Amino acid sequence: MKNFVKSALLGAAALAISTGVSMAADYPDRPIGVEVSYGAGGATDFQARIVTLPAGNEDMLGQPMYILNKPGAGGRKGWNWFATEAPKDGYMMSAYNVPHFIAQGIKGGVKYDADTFEPIANWGADPAVVIVGKDSEFNSMADLIAFAKANPGKTTTSGAGLFVGHHIAALQIEKACDCKLAFIPTKGGGAAAMKAVIAGETLAGINNLSDAARALEAGNVKILAVADLERHAFLPDTPTLKEGGLDVDNASVNFRGLMVPKGTPQDVIDKLAAQVPKMFAHKRVTQKMKQTNSPVKIMSRAEVQAMWAERKATLAELLKGL
Amino acid sequence: MEFLGYFGGVFEPVALLLLLGGTVGGLVLGATPGLSPTMAVALLIPFTFHLTPTQGLILLGAAYTSTVAGGAVSAILLKIPGAPANIATALDGNAMARNGEGARALQLSFLASGVGGVIGVLLLIFLTPVLAVWALKFGPSHLFWIAILGVTVIGSLDSKSFVKGLLSGCIGLWLSQIGYDEIQGTERFIFTDALTGGIHIIPALIGLFAIPQVMEMFAKGRVSAAIESIAVPKYSIFDSVREVARSIRSLSIGTTVGAIVGLIPGVGGQIAGLVAYDQSRKFSETPDKFGKGHAEGIISAESANNAMVGPSLVPLLTLSIPGSPTAAVLLGGLLIHGIFPGSNIFDKHPEVIWTFINSMLLGQILMVIFGLYTAAWAARIAKAPVPIMAAGVLVLAMFGSYSVQQSMGDVHIMLALGIGMYVLEKFGFSAAPLVLGLILGPIAGDYFTNGAMIAAAQNGLFEYFFTGGLNLILIFLVISSIGYSFWTNMIKGTSVDVEARTEVAE
């Protein structure tokens, strides 16, 4: 009898283990969705479409990924949906933008923060840059800061929205120079913010390095500085803000990657965390990313978890009292 | 004339096949409810990964032009506008189709699209440098005034009563405020989770136009005598060609409005069709015929929609700034092949860019041929018995609303708006002004906020919004538009009322 109970228990345990294993082994048995909180054609959407290309390969996930756009309100709409309504079975992932969603979580009014989601892996990092029109009188950060100090609150500076990387960079610059800019969040995201600078609607702007590098090549803007710890390979001649004497770190760098909602089975998370970075590193992906001027930075789940925690602390400090 | 040298690229076997496939596929995708041109082009981008840059762009260029025209098919036959651009087409086109003249409506719409589209692309070919400078002139204050100019036509759009038109416009403006504020991120009127993102325009369009009509059909279907099958007479293509050729005024109004609106980044093609429709009616000798299946209505609306396609690419190709959502997707398609748009793109990649533009030009012509060929066949849809038609439209309405964002919330919003609109229609309100309010609300509101923030950092609101040549011209247009409406509807309108009353008294 004792033996029977023992073997029955063992059997049950074995069954439990085997079903557990088979769940992870079966996953994924159908295509996986990737929710993007920005419109089709934006940098996040467009990069997400590239990095998910090899998902269907047998040595990756064996199932293709498809993109589902839910744009609106600087990403709040899509991430709200993802936090509350998305299925927690690994068949719906979301593209994250840090610092955007962490800053929005700190500011409140949304249904998520850094703890609502489980990171899987990071694919890219796009630093913010300070730009001015090609005919602008400003030729360096020093010129711009001198003007801002002489005319507090008159240095109109466009950016993609409130509490996105561009806004964080503006806040950090204001703090570092002890001066006042006029940050103008534009309707229509980064492209509209870029247009505002090129058309002279604003005196300066903060934009994505990848987009600004393209505008520089076309001869439409001047890039004054990069808001990162080191100079960027795309723009070796552009100084960092730190070199210009402004104490601004990399808190505004726009990290992009994939995440799932909290509550997704651990074995599914583990499988994704193991396979997705390989997918990002696929030759076809890195080639396309290079062709499109999109800066790649592949980070593992553990590295992203550390980065999120660090960002959350820095941003809470920066946004205090705003 | 540089572009002529690159026509050879379009006629290579693979390229020609892609051009044909893109055009036909684009028409089908465009005619599918819920699939806007933006989504259709986004769906095609992964296919271009396996093609050379030139081939990929031929596919995208052909698909872009034909999806815009394809949207007219569901607007005319089912009264489900495929995209905001096709709203005005639904007004007269569907009325015509219900008279059994669906083939005529489709033929007119494809011919007008073709004329507008070719002129639009020719503008892109010959005037790009000039137009690029122009596109940059429109800042937040100007876009705000353009939206207000749009608001001034709300009252007169597709409504028997000016006051009821204004009222439905106001309902639309209010509905547009639901959801997160795009710039500040504050919540407005969000009572349930489905509304957090605001009201998406595509489900709203489907609900407001298709659902009241479905309910009407169901109501009618209860009486078997009312289930009549419409005769669908054949309609000669040459008659349509002659009719379009005669409508020079509608064509030129449509093409001009479409080209100008397309050029302005941030307004997009959404309102081109509606504004052209309204202007065409104001200049028409027979304004009463509009909304009842009038050819001029279809011609002006569709020529405007497609005239917008070419100029809307000017800011993208010269400044790397996408002026519309579809242009943003096309930017992705260019970047993915290592082609960075900018002022020097015509020097750096002439073969790619000119082949792309040429493919749009040929795509327009192919689209007309294919459209004309299938029009008579597609129009037979109207022969379907009313109950089947109603059920079919309802299924497509559900499918279309859900597929935009894979959200049941959108389906609920679509049904709620549809039922609300059914009731409103019983009281003489109509959907078009409501939709225009829904589209213009965020444009006016957000650009005002945007402009006010810039103004606060400069010399104040008054100087920012009320000085400068372009602002003054737009304000003048706003005032004249209000004055015109006031004159025709209030002063002349009262006299009609008096006459009508005296007639009744007699």
Are the C-beta atoms of B331 and A41 separated by less than 8 Å? yes
Distance, in Å, from the CA atom of A179 to the CA atom of B147, rounded to the nearest integer, reads 35
Distance, in Å, from the CA atom of B320 to the CA atom of B350, rounded to the nearest integer, reads 16
Distance, in Å, from the CA atom of B94 to the CA atom of B79, rounded to the nearest integer, reads 6
Q: Give the three-state DSSP class for B362.
A: helix
What share of chain A in percent tops pLDDT 70?
A: 92
Q: Which residues in B110-135 are b (16+ Cβ under 10 Å) and which e?
A: bbbbbbbbbbbbebbbebbeebbeeb
**Are A195 and B182 in contact (CB < 8 Å)?**
no
DSSP state of A232: B
Q: Give the three-state DSSP class for B32.
A: coil
Q: What angle do CA B327, B331, B336 make, to 5 degrees?
A: 150
Distance, in Å, from the CA atom of A307 to the CA atom of A250, rounded to the nearest integer, reads 11
Residue A83: what pLDDT? 92
Mutate to test the interface with B, among A44, A134, A194, A292 (most CBs of B within 10 A): A292
Amino acid occupying residue A257? G
Sign (positive/negative) of CA torsion B49, B52, B53, B57? negative
Residue of B nearest to A44 (CA): B332
Question: For chain B (length 506 residues), average pLDDT per consecutive 10?
Answer: 74 87 88 80 80 86 86 88 84 87 90 93 88 84 90 76 86 91 80 80 91 87 60 75 87 92 76 86 84 90 90 85 81 80 79 86 90 82 80 90 86 95 92 90 90 91 91 92 79 50 40
Q: CATH homologous superfamily of domain A128-226?
A: Periplasmic binding protein-like II (3.40.190.10)
Are the C-beta atoms of A123 and A256 separated by less than 8 Å? yes
E-only strand ranges, B287-389: none
Distance, in Å, from the CA atom of B383 to the CA atom of B127, rounded to the nearest integer, reads 46
Q: Which of B182, B343, B406 sits opposite A73 (nearest CB)?
A: B182
Q: What angle do CA B188, B194, B198 make, to 5 degrees?
A: 40
Number of H helices, E strands in chain A: 11, 11
Q: Give the three-state DSSP class for A224.
A: strand
E-only strand ranges, B104-259: 179-180, 187-188
Residue A302: what pLDDT? 96
Residue B503: what pLDDT? 41
Residue B412: what pLDDT? 94
Contacts 24+ apart (CB under 8 A), A14-22: A20/A267, A21/A267
- Mean pLDDT score of chain A: 88
Residue B197: what pLDDT? 77
- Please check whether residue B491 touches A, CB under 8 A: no
Q: Give the three-state DSSP class for A106.
A: helix
Residue with tokens 């022969």: B383
Are the C-beta atoms of A117 and A259 separated by less than 8 Å? yes
Window B:38-77, CB contacts with A under 8 Å: 38-39, 42, 45-46, 49
Mutate to test the interface with A, among B49, B263, B319 (most CBs of A within 10 A): B319
For residue A149, pLDDT over 80 is answered with yes
Q: Any bridge partners for residue A207, and if so which?
A: A129
Amino acid occupying residue B86? N
The helix (run of H) or strand (run of E) holding residue A144 is: helix A141-150
Model-level pTM?
0.86
Residue B488: what pLDDT? 76
Window A:209-228, CB contacts with B under 8 Å: 211, 214-215, 217-220
Residue B493: what pLDDT? 58
List of chain B residues whose C-beta atoms are within 8 Å of the C-beta of residue A322: none
DSSP state of A230: S
A128-226 has the same fold as A31-120+256-319: yes
Q: Per the omega criterion (within 30 degrees of 0), is the bond before B33 cis?
A: no
For B265-316, write each residue's pLDDT tens digit. 777 667 888 888 888 888 888 888 888 889 999 999 999 988 988 888 888 8
Are the C-beta atoms of A309 and A303 separated by less than 8 Å? no
Residue B506: what pLDDT? 38
Considering the four listed CATH numbers 3.40.50.1010, 3.40.190.150, 3.30.43.10, 3.90.1150.10, the one that applies to the domain covering A31-120+256-319 is: 3.40.190.150
What count of CB pairs under 8 Å joins A to B? 171
Q: Give the three-state DSSP class for A261.
A: strand
For residue A266, pLDDT over 90 is answered with yes
Residue A18: what pLDDT? 43
When pLDDT is cut at 50, 70 and 90, the band that residue A21 belongs to is very low
Residue A197: what pLDDT? 94
Domain positions in chain A: 1-26, 31-120+256-319, 128-226
Distance, in Å, from the CA atom of B106 to the CA atom of B30, rounded to the nearest integer, reads 14
Contacts 24+ apart (CB under 8 A), B445-448: B445/B176, B445/B177, B445/B181, B446/A187, B446/B181, B446/B182, B446/B183, B447/A187, B447/B140, B447/B141, B447/B143, B447/B144, B447/B147, B447/B266, B448/B140, B448/B144
Residue B502: what pLDDT? 41
Residue in B172, B229, B223 with CA at minimum distance from that of residue B201 = B172
